[in-house]
Amino acid sequence: MVNQRDLDKAEVLVEALPYIRRFNRKVIVVKYGGSAMIDETLKQDVIEDIVLLKLVGFKPILVHGGGKEISKWTGKIGLETKFLNGLRVTDAETMELAEMVLARVNKELVSRVQALGVKAAGISGKDGGLLKVRKKKSSEGDLGFVGEVTGVDPKILQDLLKNDYLPIVFPVAMDEEMNSYNVNADEAAGAIAMELNAEKLAFLSDVEGVRMDPEDPDSVISELYTGEAADLIEQGVITGGMIPKIRNCIDAISKGVNRVHILDGRIPHSLLLEIFTDKGCGTAIVRPHQEKYWKQKA
């Protein structure tokens, strides 16, 4: 009368038990970007994952960007896009448009979470003074309204979590003269995770993790101590765009985050896979002195 598939299901749920227990009431900051923000199925997967984390007792915070959507709109209204050393130069008009686009994306994510029966609150870095920023200096020229985080006031996030909302944040903030600045979402997620001493900080992007051999997709490293990660940068194994990402990870750990993950957003449910399976997925950067603990896996 009870079929095998249902019995298997029950088994999977029971296997999730130690993970649920371990992260109960812990803060998990998820930086959400890349393909998983565009592909309709992946997008829904991410929302389901994060809603599930919320419902089983974790405290997830979603921080999102929206680069491709911004580009779509600058194109639409004929704004020229300049880059300086790989960074988009953000003039006043682009800044205004970027804030508009990100705010709308934010409300779409809020809608999706609400539709799954969980209360969401979408905010920017301005609300409650969450992010304090100033103009980012670049040695190569004026980047325009690109901001760098100088402080985090976590109270609005704490208030929302206490009242059981899932906070969804887009990284636009103001400086002391009330100018709006666009902040890199990785940087914002990292700053928030540090301020809240998050248990986990997960970067969900189009990167499958750190490879030992850049040419070999099967050479992804599961786990790296911060020291090892620093060595790999020095040895030239980690290169290019991965370098700032990994530095950001190392920094986050040194400032109080327990564990940082680089997850491949192109894999369905990569967030759940990381949290609810022994092998995890992608690359984890971990504290140096906790070997034994992590051998058991987190």
216 counts as binding a copy of itself under rule CB under 8 A: no
Nearer to a copy of itself, 54 or 136 (CB): 54
Q: Which residues pair with 286 in a beta bridge?
A: 225, 259
Q: Give the nearest distance from C-beta 290 to a copy of itself in angstroms.
A: 19
Helices 40-55 and 92-115: crossing angle in degrees, nearest 10, is 60
CA 180 → CA 68, 149, 200, 240, distances in Å?
A: 20, 12, 29, 29
DSSP character for 137? P
217 counts as binding a copy of itself under rule CB under 8 A: yes
Stretch of 30-38, 84-92, 159-167, 191-199 lying at the interface with a copy of itself (CB under 8 A): 159-167
Nearer to a copy of itself, 96 or 291 (CB): 96
Yes or no: say if 30 and 204 are a contact pair by the CB < 8 Å rule. Answer: yes
Binder among 30, 101, 224, 232 for a copy of itself (CB under 8 A):
101
90 counts as binding a copy of itself under rule CB under 8 A: no
194: tokens are 């540090």
* 3 state SS of 196: coil
Site string for a copy of itself, 169-208 (x = CB under 8 A): ---x-x---x-x---------------------------x
Binder among 4, 40, 76, 140 for a copy of itself (CB under 8 A):
76
Q: Give the nearest distance from C-beta 243 to a copy of itself in angstroms.
A: 23
Burial string for 76-91 (b: 16+ CB within 10 Å, else e) reads eeeeeeeeeeebbbbe
Q: Give the nearest distance from C-beta 33 to a copy of itself in angstroms.
A: 19
**Rounded distance, CA 63 to CA 167, Å?**
8
Yes or no: say if 171 and 65 are a contact pair by the CB < 8 Å rule. Answer: yes
Binder among 96, 206, 231, 291 for a copy of itself (CB under 8 A):
96
* Pair type for strands 59-64 and 166-170: parallel
287: tokens are 């504290």
Yes or no: say if 201 and 29 are a contact pair by the CB < 8 Å rule. Answer: yes
Interacting positions 7-46 with a copy of itself (CB under 8 A): 7-18, 20-21, 24, 45
Q: Give the nearest distance from C-beta 58 to a copy of itself in angstroms.
A: 11
Site string for a copy of itself, 256-285 (x = CB under 8 A): -----------xxxx-xx--xx-x-x----
Q: Which residues pair with 27 in a beta bridge?
A: 59
Q: Give the nearest distance from C-beta 288 to a copy of itself in angstroms.
A: 26
Nearer to a copy of itself, 47 or 189 (CB): 47
Binder among 39, 48, 91, 142 for a copy of itself (CB under 8 A):
48
* 3 state SS of 139: coil
**Rounded distance, CA 260 to CA 182, Å?**
24
51 counts as binding a copy of itself under rule CB under 8 A: yes
Nearer to a copy of itself, 183 or 253 (CB): 183
